């Protein structure tokens, strides 16, 4: 639980930044990140935002056990994790029936793709499934390697960098099973197809095909098994990367393509065509016109693309112009032809990518579903030289920040309203002003760019810059070299304009702005140009619309160093990202009012021991309990507010003080319950023995005084009658013997209940026998404890990591009998064990007065008010139970036995214990099925019933609309 981790806050930091005392201090923020990173705690919250540090090493935190730990539990009960975000979104979608989205941002290499993969895996493994669903799950998971092959590349910053923004919808049916998906791609970095910087590569698929492609295939495509042969693959001088195995990846991609349903080789023809296009070379005529010198390439291209070679040649050396209303083909010079060729390559690749995404969407399509969207998009990018791409990416981030602020403020405001707490205005920077500067109609930068492309005359990047100066020159967030003061001029180029984004200043070089992303070929140049940025603006607007309609969760990824090294915390780099991710602004908005809020029951449960009025239990209204508690703790009125269902605490220090007080209190409570019980038992037996001893002593004294004269005679007579029942003749003698025995016992009284060294009592003494009897009982209890320990081992084998409420059963004793909590059942082992249970029928009706009795070596008897149902161990065929934390279980009974009335559906508070005992008594340890989703069972006369299990906030057992028995289990 979040609160319990606070005790170690000095060492491991706080797991929610809202608990930082000085929440406006960037230094404190970074220090907290550092502490946690050092302890491999890569996840930290800012309220409900997850901050994730890339560990650059495999941490053991993504196992099935981890997934189980996060299933159906409250966000704050477990340590921060991407699974908590995934689970929270899933549960909100299920319970509130609202579409969700998870926005993952961060700079290249910060771990966005890994995070979205973890979310997908979480759903693939933990969500219920059917056979049909399995295919969809496979397709969803397999779409990843395909998209990565075509959309990812090795860059200097990340060996597997996504070179496109991705929004993916995962669609779930009414049962919560993933049944479909939909992907939208943004901003594919097409320029990479034709050019790569030093140390970088083209998209993975090219190398995979060349390295891994079968000989036949390569022959058909006219390719050689050598990446060095291809102009488009040699620019970065980096064909091989140690962390990438192209040959293996090829196999994975081929398999994934077939799972998604790509059977034809059309796709590979296109990939090969791009490589051939790259090798098309030009010569120059005297007139300056370009001609093609590489005929082989044209031959392959014509075949692979299914076009006429002559037409293709003309298209690669000419452009279409319209002169005096007539279409004419005008020859290109060598340089123009080369760029036309590259533009064609980019266009082909870009369209293939979109086609691929559409095809994947087709294979995943599903209607009428609830949706969780995953947006994985580059964070703010600031390089030495920033161009059109950075402009688009940063604009996108600006919009996402605007959305974040709007939605966080909105949800804070809504929560305050729902709780009846007055909203206090929050001071924050609203970046709408920057969004407007970029996107406003007619006056915004994008509109000006469109206009410049369309206007007649010689428009250029520089005229665009001038136009910007004239139109938005006075804007507070815009600057150019010309408009800047002397100092700023020194750090700005003449071809640059500066935008003061929410995250900081960025200078953009206008060079190429007009040309970027344009298909130069086959189409009217200006028409196409004019759409470039607007298209992006529109698709971004659509994305914002999609996101606005959903409830968002945020994951902010941070890269700890540029060297891709584990354990290295580069403070400068991290500070930079904290700034560009807007994390301090996030924190400010989240901390504007109250740092901490919890539901009354949770708060009271945790801290009730700190106030005598609320400890051990509070019987009144929860709000009054909390109010009494915090008053007792001395909270000042300005430190907290009580809402309808929650307490709001303004400062972390108030919570810390409470948590520290709890720690002290726990120590003072000291003695555990079991120690106390043991002590009490020992004390009781000592008192009993001492009382006897005192009585006997008094008796002896009296007798001595009264019968001194007869002592010897009585003693002898007593000895003679010693084997007789107590009578006047042996009374004196027996008392003496008893006295001596008890004296001996008194001198060496056993120190613990476990001590078995009781002296043998004289046979005739009833009282002493009783004492010994007790000792025997204790011995039996002890041995039964050993037996219970063995039972615990069996329980662990059956349930550990398989059933959610197994961990809760671990500290609880498995007692001999839960009905009569004394020793009777142990001494008279019939029934051997008894466990209280509730019996349910198919429709969810309960039977009353029930107990499950396990008879030694024979049968299970479910006793009810009117009838007993007996199940012989031999007819018990198996046991089914869900993997969640409910207490339902089904005893499957052989149907050929006519005496039986079908399977028995039971529920127990002590389900782990009950099933362990049943399994052991009936020797069915291997016949317990732990199911996810649902359990089928037989009802009398061959009818069938189904129990569906889901997790939710309240335990509920009821008949569902579909006739099934629906069990909603809670986390605890
Ligand atoms: N949670 C993690 N555990 C272990 N390693 C990780 C984790 N997250 C990221 N990494 C490592 O960091 C590398 C880069 O991560 P990833 O590809 O997810 O970054 P990204 O933010 O998607 O980058 P880009 O924007 O360039 O695509 C991964 O290949 C992996 O080696």
Q: What whole-number distance in Å separates Cα of residue 210 and Cα of residue 444?
A: 46
Q: Check which CATH number belongs to the domain holding 842 and give it.
A: 2.30.29.30
- Predicted confidence at residue 57, as pLDDT, reads 96
**Nearest-atom index, ligand 1, CA of 52:** 1
Q: Please, what sign has the CA dihedral across residues 944, 948, 954, 959?
A: negative
873 phi, psi to nearest 5 deg: -55, -35
The Cβ-side half-sphere exposure at 432, using a 13 Å CA radius, reads 5
Token pair in block for residue 309: 């070679």
Q: Give 893-921 as a 3 state SS string.
A: ECCCCCCCCECEEEECCCHHHHHHHHHHH
Residue 76 confidence (pLDDT) above 90: no
Q: What whole-number distance in Å separates Cα of residue 240 and Cα of residue 255?
A: 23
* More confidently predicted of 19 and 496: 496
Within a domain: residue 872?
yes
- Predicted confidence at residue 750, as pLDDT, reads 56
Residues 816 and 916 both lie in one domain: yes
Percent of the chain at pLDDT exceeding 90 = 30
Where would I find the H helices in 318-460?
334-364, 388-419, 432-439, 445-454
- Closest residue by Cα to residue 222 from 162, 160, 154, 277: 277
Distance 560 CA to ligand 1 centre (A): 11
∠ Cα 955 959 964 (to 5°): 110
- Predicted confidence at residue 143, as pLDDT, reads 86
Residue 522 confidence (pLDDT) above 50: no
Within a domain: residue 520?
no
Q: What is the mean pLDDT of residues 604-608?
A: 89
- Predicted confidence at residue 6, as pLDDT, reads 67
- Predicted confidence at residue 820, as pLDDT, reads 37
Task: Confirm whether the ipTM is greater than 0.90.
Answer: yes
Token pair in block for residue 798: 């059956």
- Predicted confidence at residue 508, as pLDDT, reads 95
* More confidently predicted of 968 and 211: 211
Residue 214 confidence (pLDDT) above 60: yes
Beta bridge partners of residue 786, listed in sequence order: none
**Nearest-atom index, ligand 1, CA of 378:** 25
Within a domain: residue 896?
yes
Scan for tokens 């090219």, then name that residue: 206
Q: Please, what sign has the CA dihedral across residues 290, 295, 299, 301?
A: negative
* More confidently predicted of 272 and 943: 272
Within a domain: residue 690?
no
Within a domain: residue 737?
no
Q: Is 272 exposed, middle or buried (0-12, 13-18, 19+ CB in 10 A)?
A: buried
* More confidently predicted of 892 and 810: 892
- Predicted confidence at residue 44, as pLDDT, reads 95
Q: Please state at what angle helix 766-799 crosses helix 731-747, rounded to 10 degrees.
A: 40
- Closest residue by Cα to residue 658 from 599, 601, 596, 616: 596
Within a domain: residue 731?
no
Q: How many other C-beta atoms can be found within 10 angstroms of the C-beta atom of residue 147? A: 22
User: Taking the mean position of all CA atoms in its chain, how far away is CA 884?
Assistant: 17
Q: What whole-number distance in Å separates Cα of residue 179 and Cα of residue 367?
A: 9
Q: What is the mean pLDDT of residues 314-319?
A: 87
Q: What whole-number distance in Å separates Cα of residue 675 and Cα of residue 813?
A: 14
Residues 759 and 803 both lie in one domain: no
Residues 868 and 833 both lie in one domain: yes
Residues 751 and 827 both lie in one domain: no
Q: What whole-number distance in Å separates Cα of residue 124 and Cα of residue 462?
A: 52
* More confidently predicted of 851 and 483: 483
Distance 798 CA to ligand 1 centre (A): 37
Residues 767 and 874 both lie in one domain: no
Residue 78 confidence (pLDDT) above 60: yes
**Nearest-atom index, ligand 1, CA of 155:** 26
- Closest residue by Cα to residue 268 from 229, 310, 216, 307: 216
Within a domain: residue 847?
yes
Beta bridge partners of residue 861, listed in sequence order: 853, 870
Residues 831 and 770 both lie in one domain: no
Chain mean pLDDT for the chain: 82
- Closest residue by Cα to residue 725 from 733, 714, 715, 716: 733
- Predicted confidence at residue 175, as pLDDT, reads 82
Token pair in block for residue 41: 């705690």
* More confidently predicted of 55 and 339: 55
What residues form the annotated binding site for ATP?
106-113
Q: What whole-number distance in Å separates Cα of residue 384 and Cα of residue 400?
A: 24
Q: What is the mean pLDDT of residues 64-83?
A: 87
Q: Is 775 in the pocket of ligand 1 (CB under 6 A)?
A: no
Residue 821 confidence (pLDDT) above 70: no
Q: What is the mean pLDDT of residues 73-89?
A: 87
- Predicted confidence at residue 89, as pLDDT, reads 93
**Nearest-atom index, ligand 1, CA of 42:** 1
**Nearest-atom index, ligand 1, CA of 161:** 26
- Closest residue by Cα to residue 620 from 642, 643, 604, 596: 604
Which pLDDT band, with edges at 50, 70 and 90, does 829 fall under? very low
Q: Is 112 in the pocket of ligand 1 (CB under 6 A)?
A: yes
Q: Do 193 and 203 meet the contact criterion of CB atoms below 8 Å apart?
A: yes
- Closest residue by Cα to residue 408 from 206, 556, 511, 202: 556
Residue 156 confidence (pLDDT) above 80: yes
Return the SS3 of 717: helix
Residues 802 and 772 both lie in one domain: no
Which pLDDT band, with edges at 50, 70 and 90, does 517 fall under? very low
Q: Which of 760, 778, 796 is the last residue of a domain?
A: 778
Distance 33 CA to ligand 1 centre (A): 18
Q: What whole-number distance in Å separates Cα of residue 192 and Cα of residue 189?
A: 6
Q: Best mutation site among 85, 113, 389, 559 for ligand 1, i.e. most ligand atoms within 8 A of its Cβ? A: 113
Token pair in block for residue 182: 């939909």
Residues 773 and 868 both lie in one domain: no
Residue 506 confidence (pLDDT) above 90: yes
User: Taking the mean position of all CA atoms in its chain, how far away is CA 140?
Assistant: 18
Domain that holds residue 763: 745-778
- Closest residue by CA, ligand 1 atom 5: 56
Which pLDDT band, with edges at 50, 70 and 90, does 43 fall under? very high
Pick from 35-44, 797-806, 869-878: least confident: 869-878
Residues 895 and 951 both lie in one domain: yes
Beta bridge partners of residue 879, listed in sequence order: 891, 928
- Closest residue by Cα to residue 90 from 119, 61, 68, 113: 119
- Closest residue by CA, ligand 1 atom 11: 56
The 8 Å CB, 24+ separation contacts for 26-34 are 26/575, 26/578, 26/579, 26/584, 29/578, 29/583, 29/584, 29/587, 30/571, 30/574, 30/575, 30/578, 33/558, 33/569, 33/574, 33/578, 34/569, 34/571
- Predicted confidence at residue 340, as pLDDT, reads 86
Residue 264 confidence (pLDDT) above 70: no
Distance 566 CA to ligand 1 centre (A): 12
* More confidently predicted of 51 and 897: 51
Q: Is 807 exposed, middle or buried (0-12, 13-18, 19+ CB in 10 A)?
A: middle
Q: Give the torsion through C-alpha atoms of 466, 468, 471, 477, to 10 deg.
A: -130
Element (H or E) spanning 959, and its range?
strand 956-959
- Closest residue by Cα to residue 241 from 161, 349, 164: 161
Q: Which of 757, 778, 799 is the last residue of a domain?
A: 778
**How is 198-266 classified by DSSP, letter by letter?**
TT--SBHHHHHHHHH--HHHHHHHT--S-GGG-HHHHTTS----TT--HHHHHHHHHHHHHHHT--SSH
- Predicted confidence at residue 221, as pLDDT, reads 94
Q: Do 635 and 654 meet the contact criterion of CB atoms below 8 Å apart?
A: yes
Which pLDDT band, with edges at 50, 70 and 90, does 768 fall under? low
Q: Is 560 in the pocket of ligand 1 (CB under 6 A)?
A: no
Within a domain: residue 425?
no
- Closest residue by CA, ligand 1 atom 14: 109
Element (H or E) spanning 268, and its range?
helix 266-278
Q: Which of 778, 799, 828 is the last residue of a domain?
A: 778
Q: Best mutation site among 43, 44, 109, 186 for ligand 1, i.e. most ligand atoms within 8 A of its Cβ? A: 109
Q: Give 312-344 as a 3 state SS string.
A: HHHHHHEEEEEECCEEEEEECEHHHHHHHHHHH
Element (H or E) spanning 851, and its range?
strand 851-854
Residue 728 confidence (pLDDT) above 70: yes
- Closest residue by Cα to residue 654 from 632, 639, 637: 639
Residues 764 and 802 both lie in one domain: no
The Cβ-side half-sphere exposure at 267, using a 13 Å CA radius, reads 21
Q: How many domains does the chain have?
A: 2
Q: Is 113 in the pocket of ligand 1 (CB under 6 A)?
A: yes
Whole-number Cα distances in Å, 806 to 146, 580, 915, 924: 40, 44, 11, 18
Residue 354 confidence (pLDDT) above 80: yes
DSSP conformation class of 487: H
Which pLDDT band, with edges at 50, 70 and 90, does 187 fall under? confident
Token pair in block for residue 235: 């620019």
- Predicted confidence at residue 564, as pLDDT, reads 92
Residues 817 and 915 both lie in one domain: yes
Tens digit of pLDDT for each residue in 431-447? 899 999 998 988 899 88
- Closest residue by CA, ligand 1 atom 15: 111
* More confidently predicted of 167 and 136: 167
Q: What whole-number distance in Å separates Cα of residue 64 and Cα of residue 71?
A: 11
Token pair in block for residue 471: 């139109």
Distance 563 CA to ligand 1 centre (A): 13
Distance 25 CA to ligand 1 centre (A): 28
Distance 239 CA to ligand 1 centre (A): 21
Please state whether beta strands 646-649 and 596-599 pair in parallel, antiparallel, or not at all (unpaired). Answer: antiparallel
- Closest residue by Cα to residue 497 from 470, 471, 469: 469
Q: Do 12 and 39 meet the contact criterion of CB atoms below 8 Å apart?
A: yes
Token pair in block for residue 269: 């023809």
Residues 762 and 839 both lie in one domain: no
Q: Do 731 and 721 meet the contact criterion of CB atoms below 8 Å apart?
A: no
Beta bridge partners of residue 326, listed in sequence order: 323
Identify how many contiguous H helices and E strands the chain contains and give both numbers. Answer: 32, 33
This model's pTM is above 0.80: no
Return the SS3 of 280: coil
Q: Please, what sign has the CA dihedral across residues 235, 239, 244, 250?
A: positive
Q: Is 811 exposed, middle or buried (0-12, 13-18, 19+ CB in 10 A)?
A: exposed
Positions marked catalytic: 108-109, 113, 158, 161-162, 379, 381
- Closest residue by CA, ligand 1 atom 25: 108
Token pair in block for residue 203: 């998209």
Q: Best mutation site among 158, 162, 163 for ligand 1, i.e. most ligand atoms within 8 A of its Cβ? A: 158
């Amino acid at each position: 639980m979040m609160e319990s981790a606070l005790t170690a806050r000095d060492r491991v930091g706080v797991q929610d930044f809202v608990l930082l005392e000085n929440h406006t201090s960037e230094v404190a923020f970074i220090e907290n990140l550092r502490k946690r990173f050092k302890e491999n705690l890569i996840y930290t919250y800012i309220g409900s935002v997850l901050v994730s540090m890339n560990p650059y090493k495999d941490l053991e935190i993504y196992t099935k056990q981890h997934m189980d730990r996060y299933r159906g539990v409250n966000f704050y009960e477990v340590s921060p994790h991407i699974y908590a975000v995934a689970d929270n979104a899933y549960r909100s979608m299920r319970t509130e029936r609202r579409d969700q989205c998870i926005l993952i941002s961060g700079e290249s290499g910060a771990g966005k793709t890994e995070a979205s993969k973890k979310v997908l895996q979480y759903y693939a493994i933990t969500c219920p499934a059917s056979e049909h669903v399995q295919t969809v799950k496979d397709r969803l998971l397999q779409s990843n390697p395909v998209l990565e092959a075509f959309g990812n590349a090795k860059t200097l910053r990340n060996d597997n960098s996504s070179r496109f923004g991705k929004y993916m919808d995962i669609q779930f049916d009414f049962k919560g099973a993933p049944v479909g998906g939909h992907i939208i791609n943004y901003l594919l970095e097409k320029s990479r197809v034709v050019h790569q910087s030093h140390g970088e590569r083209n998209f993975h698929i090219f190398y995979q095909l060349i390295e891994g492609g079968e000989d036949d295939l390569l022959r058909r495509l006219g390719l050689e098994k050598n990446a060095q042969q291809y102009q488009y693959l040699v620019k970065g001088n980096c064909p091989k990367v140690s962390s990438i195995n192209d040959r293996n990846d090829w196999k994975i991609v081929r398999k994934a393509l077939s799972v998604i349903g790509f059977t034809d080789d059309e796709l590979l023809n296109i990939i090969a065509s791009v490589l051939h296009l790259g090798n098309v070379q030009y010569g120059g005529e005297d007139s300056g016109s370009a001609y093609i010198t590489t005929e082989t390439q044209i031959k392959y291209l014509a075949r692979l693309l299914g076009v006429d070679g002559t037409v293709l040649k003309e298209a690669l050396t000419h452009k279409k112009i319209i002169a005096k209303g007539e279409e004419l083909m005008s020859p290109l010079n060598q340089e123009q032809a080369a760029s036309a060729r590259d533009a064609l390559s980019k266009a082909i690749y870009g369209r293939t990518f979109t086609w691929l995404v559409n095809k994947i969407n087709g294979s995943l399509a599903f209607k009428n579903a609830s949706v969780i969207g995953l947006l994985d998009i580059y964070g703010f990018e600031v390089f030495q030289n920033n161009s059109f791409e950075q402009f688009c990416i940063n604009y996108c981030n600006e919009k996402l920040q605007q959305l974040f602020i709007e939605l966080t403020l909105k949800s804070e405001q809504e929560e305050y309203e729902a709780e009846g707490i007055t909203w206090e205005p929050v001071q924050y920077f609203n970046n709408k002003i920057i969004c407007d500067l970029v996107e406003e109609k007619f006056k915004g930068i994008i509109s000006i760019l469109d206009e410049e492309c369309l206007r007649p005359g010689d428009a250029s990047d520089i005229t665009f810059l001038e136009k910007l100066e004239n139109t938005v020159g006075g804007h507070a967030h815009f600057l150019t070299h010309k408009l800047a003061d002397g100092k700023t001029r020194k750090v700005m180029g003449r071809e640059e304009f500066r935008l003061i984004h929410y995250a900081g200043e960025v200078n953009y070089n206008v060079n190429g702005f007009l040309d970027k992303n344009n298909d130069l070929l086959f189409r009217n140049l200006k028409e196409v140009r004019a759409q470039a940025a607007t298209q992006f603006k529109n698709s971004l607007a659509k994305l914002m619309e999609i996101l606005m309609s959903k409830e968002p969760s945020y994951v902010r990824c941070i890269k700890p160093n540029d060297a891709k090294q584990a354990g290295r915390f580069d403070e400068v780099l991290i500070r930079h990202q904290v700034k560009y991710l807007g994390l301090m602004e996030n924190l400010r908005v989240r901390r504007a009012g109250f740092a901490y809020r919890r539901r009354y029951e949770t708060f009271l449960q945790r801290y009730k021991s700190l106030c005598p009025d609320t400890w051990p239990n509070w019987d009144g209204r929860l709000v009054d309990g909390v109010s009494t508690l915090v008053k007792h703790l001395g909270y000042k009125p300005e430190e907290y507010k009580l809402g309808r269902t929650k307490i709001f605490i303004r400062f972390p220090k108030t919570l810390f003080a409470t948590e520290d007080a709890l720690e002290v209190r726990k120590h003072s409570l000291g003695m555990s319950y079991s120690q106390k019980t043991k002590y009490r038992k020992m004390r009781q037996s000592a008192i009993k023995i001492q009382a006897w001893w005192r009585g006997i002593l008094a008796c002896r004294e009296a007798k001595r005084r009264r019968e001194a004269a007869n002592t010897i005679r009585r003693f002898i007579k007593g000895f003679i009658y010693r084997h007789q029942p107590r009578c006047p003749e042996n009374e004196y003698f027996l008392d003496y013997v008893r006295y001596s025995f008890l004296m001996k016992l008194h001198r060496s009284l056993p120190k613990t209940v476990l001590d078995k060294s009781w002296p043998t009592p004289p046979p005739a003494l009833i009282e002493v026998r009783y004492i010994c009897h007790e000792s025997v009982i204790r011995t039996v209890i002890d041995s039964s404890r050993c037996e219970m320990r063995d039972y615990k081992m069996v329980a662990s084998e059956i349930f550990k990591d398989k059933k959610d409420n197994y961990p809760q059963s671990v500290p609880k004793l498995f007692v001999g009998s839960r009905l009569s909590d004394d020793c009777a059942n142990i001494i008279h082992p019939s029934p051997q064990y008894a466990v209280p249970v509730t019996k349910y029928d198919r429709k969810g009706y309960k039977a009353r007065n029930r107990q499950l009795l396990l008879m030694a070596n024979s049968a299970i008897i479910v006793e009810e008010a009117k009838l007993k149902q007996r199940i012989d161990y031999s007819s018990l065929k198996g046991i089914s139970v869900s993997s969640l934390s409910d207490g339902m279980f089904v005893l499957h009974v052989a149907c050929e036995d006519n005496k039986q009335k079908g399977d028995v559906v039971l529920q127990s508070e002590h389900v782990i214990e009950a099933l362990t005992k049943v399994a052991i008594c009936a020797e069915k340890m291997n016949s317990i099925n732990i199911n996810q989703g649902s359990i089928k069972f037989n009802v009398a006369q061959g009818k069938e019933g189904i129990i569906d299990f889901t997790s939710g906030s309240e335990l509920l057992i009821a008949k569902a609309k579909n006739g099934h028995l629906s069990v909603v289990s809670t986390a605890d």
